[in-house]
Structure 1
Amino acid sequence: MTLTAVRPETLQRTPTSRRYLVCPPRYFAVQYTINPWMHPEVPTDTDRACRQWQVLVATYRRLGHQVDVIEPLPDLPDMVFAANAAVTVAGRAYGAKFRFPQRAAEAPAYQARLTELGFTVIPPTYVNEGEGDFLVVGRRFILAGHGFRTDHRAHREAENVLGLPVISLELVDPRYYHLDTAIAVLDETTIAYYPPALSRPSRAILAELFPDAIVADDADAEVFGLNAVSDGYHVVLPVQAHRLARQLAARGFQPVSVDVSEFRKAGGGPKCCTLELRA
């Protein structure tokens, strides 16, 4: 299949109603180190995380989106990061298989909840961390990351399960260990991304597919500005990503800033907390 770029300036930004699955951070804490952002010696404030999460969920509802909830389980402090649990397309869910044992028990819990919500869940053969590394670009294709958390072989498996072409991209900076920390899909024709997080061949692929991509700087990448959630017009992103918000507005998007700084201590942001459910 030949994939061609579409120039976004010819299109109008239009929001579409989305459905999300989220998990309250009732047991959120940084208790171990599985990415460069996690430092157990730095205190976390679970109550503050809960307040920030409530604002995030209220923001989604205010923007007209449906929000479903999965109940958190004790001893799974990262379960709040719902995006890592699966990737969904057309009522099918390709489940996660976590790289680290600390998160392994999240996978069956999310698969059970997705089944309750009416999705056909396909358990994976290979290690993958859901929408952390699989970014669905409308009905066109899926951008898929590898290098730190997701086995490259999972890309072909996801393609077979979900029925969309999968384009493999290599992550090279351990700070941006999931693709959703380095790329934000804004609509079917537009992304924002941080080039240094990706290998040179991967940057070339993105330049071909998205010649008008928004390029984030170091400062915005470091506050997880690209870990954003877009409905095609509104882009929910960390309040600290100042330049990226201005770039989004200049390109016709509406930035919606939220403070999720407590989750950054575990290497997460708005997108990490949000699994999109595509029926």
Structure 2
Amino acid sequence: MTDPTFEFSRAITRRPSASITDGLRAEDIGTPDLDQMLKDHAHYVATLKKTGAEVIELPPLEDFPDAVFVEDTALCLPQGAVLMRPGAPSRMGEVPHMAPALREFYGDVRGIAGPGHIEGGDILVTGREILVGRSDRTDAAGVAELSGIVSDWGHSLREVFTPPGVLHFKTDCSLLDGETILSTKRLAASGCFDGYRVLHVEDGEEAAANSIRFNQFVLMPAGFPRTAAMLGNAGYDVVEINNSECAKLDGGMSCLSLRF
């Protein structure tokens, strides 16, 4: 039996557009280099494909600089997909562009109608529940509306809180397997992962927390050698992918795909 939290047969990605230089960022640490981002994105897609999964590569959306970060537009579960309602106004228009791709694979596609907001970067699906972090992009009304939808499909949802100054819940955590979470110490200290096996990223390597488990691989951003070594010693097959350009837009490994 497969584990729907990290064993996937498909992923949806979207190629970066030239307009990515205008993407949102919490602080300006430099303009992304499109050529480097395209190389990194190709490495990411190739790694997903190496697992045998089908990768649906959507074309760039010039009108939406942040559209490469497809994860924020939807939540994919075995029973159906939910179209999100992003908290960043400039990203609301990305959702209608994602809907047709999801309808090709799902008979049941629902949507967050509002007035609340919720983004996929704040949602962590584990083996036993769906954790949703309240953040600057995800509010109580959005969480409540999603809870109603997923309860129809037999999922329990638990609301937690993203640390202040952290964009998304998954900026600070990722799933390594059905029961194991990779987390920053600041997030784990909140108690939100009590009852799980938690591995902490190394001090000073907090950005490594946004990794993804995709079939046999853990895809993690390059440049965090102590965390990579810790994961390798724990038995995970780590693939390091350069994330220098996505990081300028507060993006990471999970943001770049919808996995189902």
TM-score of the two chains, using structure 1 as the length reference: 0.83
Question: Would you say 1:209 and 2:195 are equivalent positions?
Answer: yes
Question: Would you say 1:31 and 2:16 are equivalent positions?
Answer: no
Question: What is the identity, as a one-letter code, of the residue corresponding to 1:106?
Answer: E
Task: Return closer, same or farther for 1:103/1:38 CA change in 2, 3 Å cut-off.
Answer: farther
Report the CA distance between 1:37 and its aligned residue. Answer: 4.0
- Corresponding position of 2:167: 177
Aligned positions of 1:253-272 closer than 5 A: 253-272=236-255
CA contact (8 A) 1:155 1:168 kept: yes
Question: What is the identity, as a one-letter code, of the residue corresponding to 1:66?
Answer: E
- Corresponding position of 2:214: 231
TM-score of the two chains, using structure 2 as the length reference: 0.88
- Corresponding position of 2:158: 167
Aligned positions of 1:119-198 closer than 5 A: 119-124=107-112, 125=114, 126-130=116-120, 132-138=121-127, 140-162=128-150, 163=153, 164-174=155-165, 176-197=166-187
Question: Would you say 1:63 and 2:51 are equivalent positions?
Answer: yes
Which sections of structure 1, spanning at least 5 residues, go unmatched?
Answer: 1-14
- Corresponding position of 2:37: 49
Task: Return closer, same or farther for 1:115/1:17 CA change in 2, 3 Å cut-off.
Answer: closer
Aligned positions of 1:91-106 closer than 5 A: 91-106=79-94
Task: Count the aligned residue pairs.
Answer: 250
Aligned-pair identity in percent equals 25
Q: Distance in 2 between matches of 1:141 and 1:197?
A: 18
Q: Distance in 2 between matches of 1:28 and 1:219?
A: 31
- Corresponding position of 1:21: 12
Q: Distance in 1 between matches of 2:10 and 2:96?
A: 21
- Corresponding position of 1:7: none
Report the CA distance between 1:197 and its aligned residue. Answer: 4.3
- Corresponding position of 1:251: 234
Task: Give per-residue Cα distances to partners, 1:87-121, cap 9 Å, x unaligned.
Answer: 11124111111112211110111123211333522
Q: Distance in 2 between matches of 1:123 and 1:239?
A: 35
Task: Return closer, same or farther for 1:119/1:70 CA change in 2, 3 Å cut-off.
Answer: farther
Give the alignment partner of residue 70 of structure 2, picking from 82, 87, 99: 82
Task: Give per-residue Cα distances to partners, 1:135-172, cap 9 Å, x unaligned.
Answer: 1113x211111021111232232232123111211112
Report the CA distance between 1:28 and its aligned residue. Answer: 4.7
Task: Return closer, same or farther for 1:16/1:129 CA change in 2, 3 Å cut-off.
Answer: closer
CA contact (8 A) 2:23 2:249 kept: no
CA contact (8 A) 2:208 2:221 kept: yes
